[in-house]
A and B are shown apart, each in its own frame.
Chain A
Amino acid sequence: MTAPSTPVVAAPSGAATRRASSFLATRPRVRLGLLLAAPLTWLVLVYVVALAALLVTALWSVDSFTGEIDRSLTLDNLREITTESLYRTVTLRTLGVALLVTVIDVVVALPIAFYMAKVASPRARRLLVVAVLTPLWASYLVKAFAWRSMLSEGGLVDWVLNPFGASTPGYGLTAVVLTQAYIWLPYVILPIYAGMERVPDSLLEAAGDLGASSGRTVRTVVMPLVLPAVLAGSIFSFSLTLGDYISVNIVGGANQMLGNLVYTNVGAANNLPLAAAIALVPIVIMLGYLAAVRRTGALDNL
C-alpha cells in the first residue's frame, strides 16, 4: 500500500512499479505466465514447432523429375517406412549399434568414475577430470578420421593385433561401435562421476564395517544410488549414436544407419518428405527409451 505522505508526482515510475507489483502480488497465475513466457516461447518455437513441421513434412511428397515438393497430404511415406523391410533392417541395426555403444560406455565408465570419485586423491581427481575432458577439445571429425586410419589395412590396430594372430576388424559395424563408444565416452563418464560423488563415504564405510564384501557393497549400496546417473549417461550415448551418420560414413564401410538414410534422402535423393518420415523413427525410439527410463524413477533424482 502506498503511504499517504509519499508525493505521487515526485516518483511516477516508482509508483508504476509499485502498482505493477501489487497487481502481480494478487495474481499468481499472471506472475507465473510472465516468468515462463520467454523460456516457453523458445521451447515451443524450437522444439514443438520444429517437431510439428517434421511431422507435416513427412506427409508431403516430391515430384521425382523436377524435385519440387507436392504439399498435398499423403500417408505414403509413413506406410513405406513401416512396411518396407529395408527400414526395419536399418532401424534394428541402428538400435543394436546404439545399445552396444551404450553398454560398452557404461561398463568402461563405471570403474573410471568410481576411481575418480572415491579412490583418487583430490589432486589426481582434478587431473583425471581434465583427462576425461581433453578428447572433447578435438573435433568429432578429427577423431573419426583418426579411427579410420587406425583401423585401416596396416594401420595401428593391425600393427598391435598382428603379433597375437589377429588383424584389424576393417571398416564395418565393429569399427562404428568402437568409434562411437570412444567419442561418446566422456558424456557417460561425467554424469556417473557426478553421481558417484554424491554417494556418502559413510555408507561405504558402514557396509565395510558390517562385513559386506567389496562386490556386495558395489551391488547393494553403490549401484542403486548411482543408477539414475548411469541412466542419464546412457541417454547421452544412446541418443547420440542413434542419430549419427558421420562416423558410419567414415568407418562404417558399406553399412547404413538411420542417419544415413535421412542424409541420402536429403542430399542425394532430394526427398525431404521421406527423410522427415525416417527422422521420426529415432524420435519415436527415444520417446520410448525416455518413457522406460522414467518408469525406473531415474529422472526424479537428476
Chain B
Amino acid sequence: MTLTRRNGRLGGLALALTCSLALSACGGDSSDDEATGPLKELGKTEGQVSILAWPGYVEDGSNDPNADWVSSFEEKTGCKVTSKVYGTSDEAFNLAKSGDYDVVAASGDLTLRMVAAKAAAEVNTDLVPNYEKVFDFLKDQEWNTVDGKNYGVPHGYGANLLMYNSDVVKPAPTSWDVVFDKASEHKGKVTAYDSPIYIADAAMYLMATQPDLGIENPYALDEDQLAAAVDLLKAQRGHVGEYWSDYLKEAQAFKTGDSVVGTTWQVIANTIDQDNVKVTVPEEGVTGWNDTWMISSKSKNPNCAYAWLNHIEDPEINAQATQYFGESPNSQEACDFAEPGFCESYHAGDEAYSDKIWYWRTPIEDCLDGRTDVTCTDYSDWTKAWTEIKG
C-alpha cells in the first residue's frame, strides 16, 4: 500500500517536474526570440562562406579573367567562397529557405518574402563600414527595411531592357509594342522572361496604352487589371518562340537568330557582344531590380557573411561587379572607380531616373499603390496566372 502511494506521489512529482522543465524551456525560447537582433560585434571569421546570387554577382575570374573580386576577398579575409547562381527570384527563395547559403543577393520581389518567411537575419549596418558611402535614396527603402529594421545592404539597380536584332527588327523599336501589340511581325521569334513577375511588364505597358484601366503601379493589380494583363500576355504567347529564365539560353537564342526581340538584362547583351544585337529603353518605361545583400537567418558563418557584405559594398569592388552585370552601382565613390561614362549611361545616383524604374516588388493583397477600396491580386494569383498564360 505505502509503496504504491509513494509511487503515485513520485509519478506526480515527475509530472510536475516535466511541466516546469517544459515551461522553463518555453520561457527560454521566448526570451531568445526577443533577444534575436542583429549581430552586435564581429568575431573571428569562420573560413568559409556560401553565397547565392544572380549570375555575374560573384565572379572569381573563371568566367571572365578580368572579372574577379572573389580572390581578393578570399586573400583578405581567409573566407573561402562557394557560390551558386539562380535564374528567378522564385528559384532563389526555395534555395535560400534551405538555409544552405549564408549570403543571398535578393531583388525587391524576394526580400520581403525572405523576411516574412524568417529566412533573412536583421543586419547591423554599423558592422558594414562601407555602408555609409551608399546613396541615401537606396537606404531604408521598403524592400530592404521592415519596421525600421535593416535586412540587408544595397548592391545596385538596373532595368529590364528591350533587346532586338537590328537585322530583322526595323526600324529600331522605341516602344514595348514590338513584343505586345505588334508581336505578330516576329511570330515565333519573340522571347519573354519566364517568371510570374513578367506580368508587371505587361501591366506597365497597359498603363501607357490603356489608361482607362486605371493601373497606377504594375505591382498593384486588382482582378480586372490582372485579367487585362493576362489577356495581353496570352495574345503574346502565340508569338513567343521560347521563354527564358536561364540567361545563357537567351544569349544563345539571340546569337543563332532563334529569338530576335524581347526583354533582357544588360549583362546578356554584353555576353552576346554582337553589333546587330542592341538594347534600348522603350518609351513606356521599364521594370527593373534593386538588389539587396541579405544574410540568412540560419547562417553558420555570420562573420564571413558580414565580411562579404562589406567587401561587395567597397566602392571599387561594387564598381567592378555592377559594371560587369550592367547595372547602376550603389555609391558615388564607386563611379570614380568605374570606366568613364559608365555612371552617366546608367544614370547612377540620378534619383529622378531611379524613381521612373518600376523596381520588382512582391505583389500582395494590400495594394502597393495605396488603394484601400479593392483587394489586389497577390503573388500566388500571379503564379497561377503565369502557368495559364503559358498554357
Binding site for B on A (CB under 8 A): 62, 64-68, 84, 86, 89-90, 148-149, 152-155, 170-171, 252-254, 256, 261, 264-271
Residues of B within 8 A of A86 (CB): 387-388, 391
A84 to B90, CA, bound (A): 23
Q: Determine the interface band of chain B, counting residues with CB < 8 A from chain A.
A: 20 to 34
Q: Does the CB pair A256–B91 fall under 8 Å?
A: no
- Chain B interface, >50% SS class: helix
Q: Given known contacts A66-B113, A66-B117, A267-B94, what 7 new A-B pairs fall within 8 Å (CB)?
A: A64-B378, A65-B362, A154-B257, A254-B241, A268-B383, A269-B90, A269-B387
Q: Determine how close the nearest CB of chain B comes to the CB of A76; give it in whole angstroms.
A: 12
Task: From A64, A68, A86, A89, name the one whose CB has the most chain B CB atoms within 10 angstroms.
Answer: A64
Q: Does the CB pair B242–A269 fall under 8 Å?
A: no
Number of A-B pairs whose CB atoms are under 8 Å?
81
Give B347-391 interface residues, CB cut-off 8 Å to A.
362, 364, 378-380, 383-384, 387-388, 390-391
Q: Determine how close the nearest CB of chain B comes to the CB of A248; give it in whole angstroms.
A: 10
Residues of B within 8 A of A148 (CB): 252
Residues of A within 8 A of B256 (CB): 149, 152-155
Which one of A171, A265, A268, A270 lies within 8 Å of B195 (CB-CB)?
A268
Q: Does the CB pair B391–A67 fall under 8 Å?
A: no
Residues of A within 8 A of B195 (CB): 268
Residues of B within 8 A of A90 (CB): 391
10 A-B pairs with the lowest CB-CB distances in the bound complex, closest first:
A64-B380, A268-B90, A269-B383, A152-B256, A153-B257, A253-B242, A66-B117, A254-B240, A66-B116, A153-B258
A133 to B240, CA, bound (A): 37
Residues of B within 8 A of A270 (CB): 90, 93-94
A264 to B195, CA, bound (A): 9
A7 to B324, CA, bound (A): 86
Supposing A65-B113, A261-B387, A269-B90 touch, asked if A170 and B380 sit within 8 A by C-beta, the answer is no
Q: B156 within 8 Å of A by Cβ?
A: no
Residues of A within 8 A of B252 (CB): 148
Residues of A within 8 A of B113 (CB): 65-67
A66 to B188, CA, bound (A): 37
Q: B243 within 8 Å of A by Cβ?
A: yes
Supposing A254-B237, A254-B240 touch, asked if A268 and B188 sit within 8 A by C-beta, the answer is no
A254 to B183, CA, bound (A): 15
A70 to B91, CA, bound (A): 20
Residues of B within 8 A of A65 (CB): 113, 116, 362, 364, 378-379
Give B69-114 interface residues, CB cut-off 8 Å to A.
88, 90-91, 93-94, 97, 113
A152 to B249, CA, bound (A): 12
A271 to B382, CA, bound (A): 13
A149 to B249, CA, bound (A): 11
A257 to B240, CA, bound (A): 17
Q: Does the CB pair B117–A264 fall under 8 Å?
A: no
Residues of A within 8 A of B90 (CB): 267-270
Give B326-366 interface residues, CB cut-off 8 Å to A.
362, 364
Task: From A89, A171, A268, A271, name the one whose CB has the most chain B CB atoms within 10 angstroms.
Answer: A268
Residues of A within 8 A of B91 (CB): 267-268
Binding site for A on B (CB under 8 A): 88, 90-91, 93-94, 97, 113, 116-117, 188, 195-196, 237, 240-243, 252-253, 256-258, 362, 364, 378-380, 383-384, 387-388, 390-391
Q: Determine how close the nearest CB of chain A comes to the CB of B95; give it in whole angstroms.
A: 9
A252 to B253, CA, bound (A): 13
Q: Determine how close the nearest CB of chain A comes to the CB of B313; give it in whole angstroms.
A: 29
Which one of B117, B257, B378, B384 lies within 8 Å of A67 (CB-CB)?
B117
Residues of B within 8 A of A271 (CB): 380, 383
Which one of B188, B196, B378 lies within 8 Å of A170 (CB-CB)?
B188
Supposing A64-B380, A65-B364, A170-B258 touch, asked if A254 and B88 sit within 8 A by C-beta, the answer is no
Supposing A65-B364, A67-B117, A86-B388 touch, asked if A171 and B383 sit within 8 A by C-beta, the answer is no
Which residue on chain A has the smallest CB distance to residue B364?
Answer: A65
Residues of B within 8 A of A266 (CB): 94
- Could you write out 16 A-B pairs with CB less than 8 Å apart? A62-B380, A65-B362, A66-B113, A66-B116, A67-B117, A86-B387, A152-B258, A170-B188, A253-B240, A253-B242, A254-B237, A256-B387, A256-B391, A267-B94, A268-B90, A269-B387
Q: Does the CB pair A254–B390 fall under 8 Å?
A: yes
Which one of B257, B258, B390 lies within 8 Å of A256 (CB-CB)?
B390
Q: Determine how close the nearest CB of chain B comes to the CB of A293; give it in whole angstroms.
A: 31
Supposing A171-B242, A268-B90 touch, asked if A67 and B383 sit within 8 A by C-beta, the answer is no
Task: From A66, A67, A68, A84, name the one whose CB has the most chain B CB atoms within 10 angstroms.
Answer: A67
Residues of B within 8 A of A153 (CB): 256-258
Q: Determine how close the nearest CB of chain B comes to the CB of A281; give it in whole angstroms.
A: 14
Q: Determine how close the nearest CB of chain A comes to the CB of B268; give it in whole angstroms.
A: 17
A190 to B151, CA, bound (A): 58
A37 to B113, CA, bound (A): 47
Task: From A261, A266, A267, name the one whose CB has the most chain B CB atoms within 10 angstroms.
Answer: A267
